[in-house]
Amino acid sequence: MGSNHGFRKLALEISDTAKAIETARELQGEHDWVPIAEADAVVALGGDGFMLSVLHAMLDRGQILPCYGVNRGTVGFLMNKYRHGARILDKVNRSRSIGISPLRMEAVTQDGQRHVECAINEVSLLREKRQTAKLEVSVDDKVRIKELVADGVLVATPAGSTAYNLSANGPILPLDSQLLALTPISAFRPRRWSGAILPDRASIRITVNEPDKRPVAAVADQKEVRDIAEVSIEIARDSELTLLFDPGHSLDERIVAEQFAT
């Protein structure tokens, strides 16, 4: 079942793809669009990458609005199907709300600088050079792996579990599971460690061993911090985002369906 949100003021965010621009032209005369600062909700035209950029911009501004995505990109996992002729205001108001809690990454570099970034999909640690990374992995202040030798490791949210995490053979997490995926990337040692599923209340700390010889970068979605010494990762409960989905096309259904894809 959908909802009746009662949104009246919508802002339109448009990616630079030809399909998105063409769709924007079709929608321009359909609704009296307002600037995002005045809006009740946002309509984003593009693909998953563009949706992530719109959500990150809202986090950066501290103005978090419900966001209804229209797929004018490729995969469109976070988006709704485009249906020509359907009134956009009606679709947004009938949509179902799904709450998404991003990760908060605090990365400390080798020279002591601190960087705090949010990630909606995943935080990944990746080797910068040809040598494998050597990483110590702690969960809730308890060392779980003294030395993980790998190309890297990532922590994924349920919303991001079908992205980079799935490509690294990590588990798909149902949206309401309140879990995180901790997934190695091309692990060499421990060779048989395939990762862990953790409660989303867990606090994860990853420390880089031999950083001068084996430098590591940390990436929160699309934001990279290089030459890190340590990274702490936990859910940013004060920054919950709201995605809007058409009835029958919600994100939790897509996560289930993805597990049966052939």
**Which positions are annotated as active-site residues?**
48
**Cα dihedral angle (113, 117, 121, 126), rounded to 10 degrees?**
-10
57: number of Cβ within 10 Å: 13
Q: Is 17 part of any known ligand binding site?
A: no
In contact, 39 and 11? CB cutoff 8 Å: yes
**By three-state DSSP, how is residue 48 classified?**
helix
Q: Is 93 part of any known ligand binding site?
A: no
The dihedral region occupied by 46, where left means phi > 0, alpha psi between -120 and 50, and beta the remainder, is left
CA–CA separation, 238 vs 261, rounded Å? 34
In contact, 72 and 19? CB cutoff 8 Å: yes
Sheet holding 96-100, edge to edge: 10-14, 41-46, 67-71, 241-245, 96-100
Tokens of 2: 């959908």
For residue 103, what are the CA distances in angstroms to 31, 106, 134, 154, 235?
Answer: 34, 10, 23, 12, 4
Q: Is 165 part of any known ligand binding site?
A: yes
Q: Is 90 part of any known ligand binding site?
A: no
Q: Is 248 part of any known ligand binding site?
A: no
Tokens of 83: 């249906």
Q: Is 65 part of any known ligand binding site?
A: no
Q: Is 167 part of any known ligand binding site?
A: yes
Q: Is 122 part of any known ligand binding site?
A: yes
Binding residues for NAD(+): 48-49, 121-122, 151, 159, 162-167
Binding residues: 48-49, 121-122, 151, 159, 162-167
